[in-house]
Each structure stands twice: as C-alpha cells, then as structure tokens.
Amino acid sequence: MKHNSFQPKYIRAGHKLGAKIMLIALAIYSGFLLNSCQQDEDIIISNGDPVTLTLSSTQLALSQESYASTALSISWTRGSNQGTGSSISYVLEIGKSGDSFTNAKIFDLGKGVYEKSFTVSDLNDLVLNYWGVEAGTTAEFEAKVTANVTNEDVEDGITEIQSFSVTPYKPVSSELYIVGDATPNGWDIASATALTASASTPWVYTYQGQLTTGNFKFAVSQDDCWCQDFYTQDPADEEMMVYNEGGSGEDIQWNIAEGGNYKVTVNLLDLTISIEKLKGPTYSELYLVGTATPVNDWKMPSDQAFVQNADDPFIFTYEATLTAGEFKIATFSGDWCDGEWLNPSQGDQVLTAIDYIVTNGCDGPDNKWVVSEQTQGRYKFTVDLENATISIEPLMLYLIGDATPNGWEINNPEPMNYANGVYTFTGALSAGELKFSKYTGDWCDGDWLVPATANQSVSDGTYTIRHGCEGDDNKWKLQDGDAGNYTITVDLDNEQITITKQ
C-alpha cells in the first residue's frame, strides 16, 4: 500500500517538473528565434496587417536639370508572417500598364528593406532604354511588392497594384568633342579634342586651350563618321547652337578670326555658347620641320618640339644641329593643312633674320629658312610670340671653374671650338673644379652641363643638363696631381663628353 500510494505521488511530481522544463525550453527557443529574426529584419511576431504599397508621386514629368534628385520613392509595410517568426523578403516589380508585369523590371531587395528610390536620371534611363518609351511621351506604369515568407505554410503577401505615369526627357550627350581646322587636331574627328563636363551640371562643357584661325563645331563622339550628331551655330545667333541629328542641318560653324588661347563654354540644355579669348600666347606648341632638321625630313606631325618657357609662356626655345637644307615652323601636330605656320618673311631666308610671318594651312607664301653648307651647325632657336620675333643663333659652349683658364668668370668663360658637330678645347687645366655652360651672363640665365655626381673624376664623362640654378650643382674635380694639358670633346648630339690628359 505505501508503495502503491507513493507511486502516484512520484508520477504526479514528475509530470509537473517535466511541464516546467518544457515551458522553460519553449521560452528560451522562442526568445532565440525572435532575437534571430529581429537581427535580420526586426520582425514582430504577430498576425499583423497585410503588406501595403505607397508611391511618393503618381505623375512624374522628368527633367535633366533635376537629374540627381529623387524622382520616385516606393515604400511598403512589413506585412505579416502570421505569428510564425519566419523571416520575410521583398520583391518589387514595375511594369507598363496593361502588360500584366510580363516585361516587368524586378528588384529582389531581400530582408528588412521597405523602400526603393529612383533618381531622375536612373528612372529616365529605365523608361527610355528598358521600356522603350520615347522622350516627351507620357507612359503609364504599375508597381507591386511581394512579401515572401520563408515558412512554406504561410501564404506570401502581395500588395495592391499602384499606378503612376512618367514623361521622360532625352538626355544630352555624355561626351562632347571640338573639331575643325581651328582646333588642335583639325578635321580629324577620330582625334577630336574632348571638352570637360562640369561635375555639378554635366550638360555644361568647357574647352580651354589654343584655337587658330579657322572654323569649328562640336561632335558627340569620336566615331569617324560625319553622319553622327553635331552641334553647330544657330544661323540667327552666333551665341546659340543647333542640335543636328545625324549630321543634318545647315552645318554653320563658328569662326576664329584671330588665333590665341581661348575658353569655350557650351550649355547643351539651353543651347548657348560662350567664346572667350584669354591672355596668353597664340600657340602652345611649336615644331621644326624640314630637310635641315635632325630627322632630315618633311615629316608631319613633327617630333622636333620646342620647349615652352614655364615663367614666360610666350617664349619657346629649341636646340639642335642643323645640316644643309631648309625648314619652317609648325604651330600644330596634325596634317599639313590643319593649322598655322611660322614662315620667314621672304623665301630662302638666312638664319640671321629675326622676323617671321604667319600662314594658315596650305594657303599663303610657303617661305623657308635656308641652311647652307657654310652655316650648318648647332643652333639655339628662341621664338617670342608676344613680340613676333625669332632668334636663330649658333650655340656656344664654355668651360668655367677654377680648374679652367678663366676661372669662375661667368661673363667671360673659356670658349670651346665647334666643328663638325663636336665642341673641343685643348689647353692647360689646373687642380680644381669645372663644368660647362651654354651661355654667358648671370649664373641662372641659361643651361649647364654638369656631372652626374659631385666631385666626379674627369675620366667619367657622364653628365646631366642643369637649367639655371635648379637641381644639383655638381662639378668635375681635378686633384692636385691631375693638373696638366688636356683635350676635351663634347658631342651634344650623342651626349658624350671626354676629358683626356695629354
């Protein structure tokens, strides 16, 4: 009897304990599940309301001026997982009205996302290029969201369909090029110069640089076809543009009457253009061309480029060994008739003349400077565009330093002799330092030939060019036992220096 009377009490006690354990376990599991869902998407475990959709606007007339602003926001409520704690992911569909979403744009947005926004530019691109709506035409669209519940026993939620209309615009070109005989690359449309788009207003483009006498217009690409779209001058107003699709229209071009440095600003939305002549030289490039040049060729474009002075952009210099022949100076790097030339004022001009004339393309007198067998040698050119002068002078080379006969006298350094492309000096050198100058005058007025390292041995002819007072002022060093008679040769064409003791 004790045993029988005891047994039910034990069993009843075990049932109560088991029930408590189950309740605790369920509470812990439910808490874990809820916490896991909330980390993903902050889902509330309840029956909730059906998922609903809201549009920020139902009538949208898009314009490029507002390209970066938000055109449309589509938002939706959480929907319901029917209290199961299952996660919900969302799919947005947008389609043209009447298509039953057969050609819909689908956005699989995942969990915890309750809004999708479109900028003016993005929505315009979708309407034009995905659904093929013509610019300026109003089209009707529909949108819906599906709330997909991961629990297969819970039915997915679908919003009611919401309608809206969009009128897209035709965006202006995302690229623009200036082309014409007034431009750096002439009528070579495949090499046309790109304009720079404004970061804040990308329909505003600028070109800043050299323009020569001639004409220009604007292309929307570098496709080598004159059938592409162009912007040309409005026949009624030179400060306005006409958009010519497929190269149609009157093809009226802008004209530059005076070459120089220009800033051109165009606005593709309001079709305006501003052409402003800036201070500065007419040209940013000069090239020597002809049979007297180092390449001995009438090659265009030329690779015999002048150097523009950084402190005075009107001054250009060039140095080379000229042979018997003739030459002239190009202000551009295109084909023969693509730009302006600097020609001597007379045919067969001698090198001592200091004036020049400007000719355009293949027009005008094709005069050249002439180098004879008697005058061939190494020369330094200095072109002053501001004063329209040119200096072509034989290049001298001088020894300077306390090891040389005239010491550190920059106004009267020891000259070297020039013959057949080589400078030579034969004479006594003392213990001390030396370097070479290409000029006389003040210390920072010109270029130097200096050794690659400080206190460099005269047996090592390695050198660099030092401009004025810039860079390392290295010297060759003759030690106390090195004094004596020497022969020095400098070959600038082959960049070689030899210093040999006799």
pLDDT digits (tens, 9 = 90+) for 243-300: 998 877 789 999 999 888 899 999 999 999 999 999 888 888 999 999 999 998 899 9
The pLDDT, as a whole number, for residue 4 is 38
The pLDDT, as a whole number, for residue 480 is 92
| Mean pLDDT, residues 452-467 | 96
CB 232 within 8 Å of CB 244: yes
Q: Which domains does the chain possess?
A: 53-167 (2.60.40.10), 177-278 (2.60.40.3620), 287-394 (2.60.40.3620), 398-501 (2.60.40.3620)
CB atoms within 10 A of CB 383: 24
Relative to beta strand 496-501, strand 484-491 is antiparallel
The pLDDT, as a whole number, for residue 47 is 56
The pLDDT, as a whole number, for residue 449 is 97
Tokens of 49: 């309301």
Q: At residue 18, does pLDDT exceed 80?
A: no
The pLDDT, as a whole number, for residue 339 is 83
The pLDDT, as a whole number, for residue 11 is 33
Q: At residue 37, does pLDDT exceed 50?
A: no
Q: What percent of the chain clears pLDDT 90, i.e. is strictly above it?
A: 79
Tokens of 447: 């270029």
pLDDT digits (tens, 9 = 90+) for 43-89: 444 456 899 999 999 999 999 999 999 999 999 999 999 888 899 99
**What burial letters (b/e) apply to 305-327, b meaning 16+ CB within 10 Å?**
ebebeeeebbbbbbebbbeebbb
* Confidence grade of residue 482 (pLDDT, cut at 50, 70, 90): very high
C-alpha separations of 99 from 134, 137, 143, 166 in Å: 18, 18, 12, 16
Computed over every residue of the chain, the mean pLDDT equals 89
pLDDT digits (tens, 9 = 90+) for 100-120: 999 999 999 999 999 999 999
Q: Residues, the chain, total?
A: 502
pLDDT digits (tens, 9 = 90+) for 190-240: 999 999 999 999 999 999 988 988 999 999 999 988 899 999 999 999 999
Q: At residue 126, does pLDDT exceed 50?
A: yes
* Phi/psi of residue 26, nearest 5 degrees: -65, -40
Instruction: Report the alpha-carbon distance of residue 14 to residue 242 in Å, rounded.
Output: 94
**What burial letters (b/e) apply to 332-353, b meaning 16+ CB within 10 Å?**
bbbeeebbbbbbbeeeebebee
